[in-house]
A and B are shown apart, each in its own frame.
Chain A
Amino acid sequence: MVENRLLNWLLYVALMAGTLGWLGSGKPFKIVGLFLTSGLAVGSLYALGGIGMVVLFRATGVLNFSSGAAGAAGAMVAWQLGQWGLWAPLTWVACILVALLITLAYGRYIAPRLAWRETVVKAVATLGFALIILGLVSFLWIDDPRSLTLPTDKIGVKFLGLRVTATRLIVLGAAIGIVIGIHLFLSRTKVGLQMRSLANDRDLSALIGIPILRVETIAWGIAGVIAGFTGLMFADLIRLEPTVITFMVIPSIAAAICGRLENLAIVLIGGLSMGVVESMLTLSSTLKGARPIAPFVIAALVLLWYQRGARLTFGGRD
């Protein structure tokens, strides 16, 4: 088992080094650095989205397609409050609160009604919810060029010839911090223990008296906060367009798949790698047009690698 894991890591490092070496060969170091650091920011966002998804999925069994929409709604509210002259930090809090409320609303009022459905149906139902939010957001804020700026955009450090703003560092730091934080939460606290137990076996957990509703609500809450934070960062770093933020979930799922929907550290590494490879593909003259395909190809390859040697087995759970 340990050997197997070591093999996986070695393979990963070799593949990444090979890909980056191939894409970056013959290019000035500075240019490679530019794309590398740029990719890390997008990758952190993929990872953040994936982390929120995995935390929720493990505790509740729901793969949430609506987290992007919740983030988009939060970001738009933050922008609007900013336009009305509200003190900036309050608008950021508002963004996270809105995403939290939307996610909790689904978790408390809609998700329980679907508890008996298959995992896939539970997942696609959240897309219906995402459409509702996206429709409302686009109705309230008609299309217009908007932007959201954080004060941290003005602070920056030089890294590999590229100016890296504090915002980008915050996103990367937050992604790492959240992974560590949730790991500690799951391993050190009672609720964390209950969550792990739910992830292992829901029916059994219910039998031994774990307060499922409470634990699930906490998981939805964590997912909501992460969705709000991701939405805010996305709006600042990428763009403030509800549709784009909403459908960011699909590459985020790709990042979640890398961690087999359970291992947060691998989700983080997967998301970052996707962002970097996607960005670095710009250096290839043949592949640059199709560079956003990187997350999907990587996720598919990772899934296949995990399933290698696996055979169709009898029964058991998926």
Chain B
Amino acid sequence: MKLFEHYELYTPYALLLLLLMPILAIWLYRHRYNERAKFLYSDVKSFGGFKTLKNKMIPILASLLLLALTLTAIGIARPRSVDVTAKTKKTKGIDIMLAVDVSASMLARDLKPNRLEALKKTAINFIKKRPNDRFGVVLYAGEAFTQVPITSDQRIVMQAIRKINFRQLFNQLEQGTAIGMGLATAVNRLKDSKAKSKVIILMTDGVNNTGEIDPYTALELAKEFGIKVYTIGLGTNGYAPTPVAVNPDGSFVYRNAKVEIDENLLKKIASETGGKYFRATDNSKLNKIYKEIDKLEKTEIKETKYYNYKELYRPFVLIAIGLIFIVGLLRYTWMKSFV
């Protein structure tokens, strides 16, 4: 059906006329002798019943006529090719920077299977839903780096998120939670963006305890560049199994620790930049949060589709007219009857 993908019929009901063709064919066959004046002759046998070329042409002419009518019916159905030069005006989306905390506490198991994995999954779903936006990823712990600069290639972004490997990062990065650094790095990436709306989704599960830039300075920066910051606090209320030490073999020792989130800071960042603060205590909550952000950052998609129609009835009708002309011409010249 690939062939017909770009073709359509404007009045497909006209094809119902094709149902009449067999009836017409039968009618033509039944009345084949009535078309011409009949010559009542005393002894038809004596002509020997030869089938000359003209005799053979009679059914051919009839079929040509039927073919012409078929083509006409198709012509009436108005076939046309559709060339959708769609999405010519791709809506400019917004730029979203995901700032993800990858400190050791993100392995806490209050979200399933742990905070980081839950986050990764939700973030990917979120990206999938917003095909017109550009995304970037900033990871931070004791220090921050840009995993993916802002890009419209969402596949790369999703892949990068999927590939976040805590253990690798654990070895590379300084320990701690430098919210300020994370935010500042994200801001840095967004500052040159020309998008209508610039958004940072800042996720953390702790308190700013290290870093060269303190969160308030980062906040000022964000405000400076007109960046909206949504903040998400991850972690249940109370206690959660959190890695507290590393075994000699590299595995973590889990102990219930009190969940500490600097909610005041996050709320402040959110409110001052025009964003919102959310608290995700479990997986479903986290999902909801992303859905809400999705709603809040609704970009109006103005998609203008240009349909370029090319009417194709012409060849059908022209061939039909040609056929009828040929049939008529033969009928009244070469195959004429003087009776």
A is bound by B? no
Residues of B within 8 A of A (CB): none
Interface residues of A (CB under 8 A from B): none
